[in-house]
Amino acid sequence: MERELEVKLENRKKAQIRKAGFPYKMYLTELERDQLPEGAGEKLPLPERLDFMIIRNQS
């Protein structure tokens, strides 16, 4: 029963967000760089490369 309540609350949140009309999530490839604030485009290459996600062995 508790799980049902959690699911209902989560679904209610999702419905409220959809109803609010927030913009949908985008992929970096869909991003229009010319629409970004000045200097923001220079910071994009790092997330595109995914270098920050490399797992290093700690031997």
Residue 35 in domain: yes
Whether residue 59 lies inside any domain: the answer is no
DSSP codes joined into one string, 8-52: HHHHHHHHHHHHHTPPPP--GGG--GGGSPTTTGGGSHHHHHTGG
Angstrom CA distances, 41 to 17, 37, 44, stand at 28, 8, 5
The verdict on pTM exceeding 0.85 is no
Give pLDDT tens digits for 8-50. 999 999 899 888 877 777 777 777 878 878 887 777 766 666 6
With respect to residue 28, please indicate whether it lies within any of the assigned structural domains. yes
Our count of domains for the chain comes to 1
Task: Determine, yes or no, domain membership for 19.
Answer: yes
Please answer whether residues 27 and 33 qualify as being in contact, where contact means their C-beta atoms are separated by less than 8 angstroms. Answer: no
Domain hosting 24: range is 2-53
Distance in angstroms (rounded) separating the CA atoms of residues 18 and 8: 15
